[in-house]
Structure 1
């Protein structure tokens, strides 16, 4: 992989970098809006055209090749690396649009650290990879307050941090893959917290305790968290309409298990969390919001 100082031609200064976003889902679209507002220009690509973004001034790229041709740096907000791999090769693939230029590929998906490093090794010289998974959910993406976990060469992560600052707080945590390790750690805490919140809410309701009063009281103490603030109303109402869907946690916790195995770590809680979210999916609840843990607890209690 090349760096900003290589003779093949460094990227321009961050203010002149042509930025693109690939993937305009619940996280990608609001991040794209912040980048467009901050930079005044943005190229976007997704399975379906987002008319509102185009009307706001973003340029639409019909293919991954068109996106790469128009950009010096691309933020990838796809579910995982396989969705990126599908569109790397071929006449309309991303590689066909690079044409020997420098390109910074910022991987915002929650993915395997090993997979990110493998991707970087497989890509041609001139395409540099930074992993930059995010935490804060759709609320944080909309507000521009995401925690952005960067891994990669220092020069590349410095540029990525400058480009992504409109979306939240970017921090370099180490070499390539470090961001994904941090996200795996984050997802372990999120999974443990939402399971505990779901079980506690159902336990309170079955005991005649008003869940709303419970969380109003306990939210100001050690039980309080950003996740409780974000999901409090959903848990109290039993509303698990999709936002951050539970099924993704199966993948995320699998990556955490891979990191644990690679570092000879023997966690006690992680296996239980994986089993819990596997069961949530098996019960047909995987497409619901992670606040489905309350419904999941109620269903298990009725078995």
Structure 2
């Protein structure tokens, strides 16, 4: 297939999906969408609305899903109004952070149900809402068919940098590795912020200074203001890290890897959720550390 001629559809039009949809629509000139709620802004920009998943699948060659995980996608597959009822030759791009084995199992089931008409490439992303809006996402592709991977890369190119990392599921493995690093970094940043604050340092000056050294990172760049102010209003909610780290643990078990950090990170993010802070931004690690280490007479930490 001429990749430029492929008609693209999207489901999962939330905080990440909506800006991705805008970029795909702007690049390709058309986009077919379906969602639980109306999307007047996208329709006004030129997207075509489909009333049901079946109608959506019947209109497209490629379907990008940015739903939270596979269970949300699976609810839309079957039934008389489901995606499979309307699908012809269809490539489904799974952009959620999901289990690599579960992605492979789903692909096998779809292949069997449709005599190979429906194929899967996994394409989780990293970069957050800022990256989605700017078109600078890191896009991790996993797929067995080179033509399908090439088509996925062409569709996703307006949103960032798509890189083929290996067979189906490889993207999800890479995303699990990404989340391991992200969770470790944001936990370290939160703890360091509390240490510095309780020692009387100017937090803004410190993080601007350290950002120029080995402590610098994209995560520090995007979360510095939140760490300094203590404003952990949500951008990327902390509760999703529990699921992501669970997938990383599954990969560690499957590969015989005895990770040192991973159990501690899972425990920390479980603690965040148990404390009722799961819907806060991941920079809530500052608040977690402060609450855990609170002591009588402490006045410095808000």
TM-score normalised by the chain length of structure 2: 0.95
Of residues 21-30 and 43-52 in structure 1, the stretch that sits farther from structure 2 once superposed is 43-52
Distance 2:246 2:223 in 1: 24
Distance 1:21 1:202 in 2: 42
User: Could you list the runs of 5+ residues in structure 2 that have no partner in the other structure?
Assistant: 296-302
**Deviation of residue 235 (structure 1)?**
0.7
Which residue does the alignment assign to 1:111? 98
**1:128 pairs with one of 113, 119, 123:** 119
Whether 1:63 aligns to 2:52 is: yes
Which residue does the alignment assign to 1:253? 245
Distance 1:171 1:207 in 2: 44
Which residue does the alignment assign to 1:90? 79
* Structure-to-structure mapping, 1:258-273, within 5 angstroms: 258-273=250-265
Which residue does the alignment assign to 1:138? 129
Distance 1:20 1:298 in 2: 45
Distance 1:79 1:209 in 2: 39
Distance 1:250 1:271 in 2: 11
- SS of the equivalent of 2:120 reads strand
Whether 1:183 aligns to 2:175 is: yes
Distance 2:50 2:222 in 1: 34
After TM superposition, the runs of 4+ consecutive aligned structure 1 residues lying more than 6 A away are none
Which residue does the alignment assign to 1:30? 19
Deviations 1:186-231 (A, max 9, x none): 0000000000001111111111001101101000000000000000
Which residue does the alignment assign to 2:36? 47
**1:220 pairs with one of 212, 229, 246:** 212
**Deviation of residue 39 (structure 1)?**
0.5
> Please, what is the CA RMSD of the aligned residues?
0.8
* Structure-to-structure mapping, 1:266-285, within 5 angstroms: 266-285=258-277
Distance 2:192 2:52 in 1: 47
**Deviation of residue 291 (structure 1)?**
0.7
**Deviation of residue 31 (structure 1)?**
0.4
Distance 1:76 1:52 in 2: 19
- SS of the equivalent of 2:121 reads strand
TM-score normalised by the chain length of structure 1: 0.95
Distance 2:166 2:215 in 1: 31
Deviations 1:32-51 (A, max 9, x none): 00000001100111211111
**1:80 pairs with one of 69, 90, 95:** 69
* Structure-to-structure mapping, 1:126-205, within 5 angstroms: 126-153=117-144, 154-205=146-197
Which residue does the alignment assign to 2:299? none
Of residues 62-71 and 232-241 in structure 1, the stretch that sits farther from structure 2 once superposed is 62-71
Distance 1:21 1:263 in 2: 33
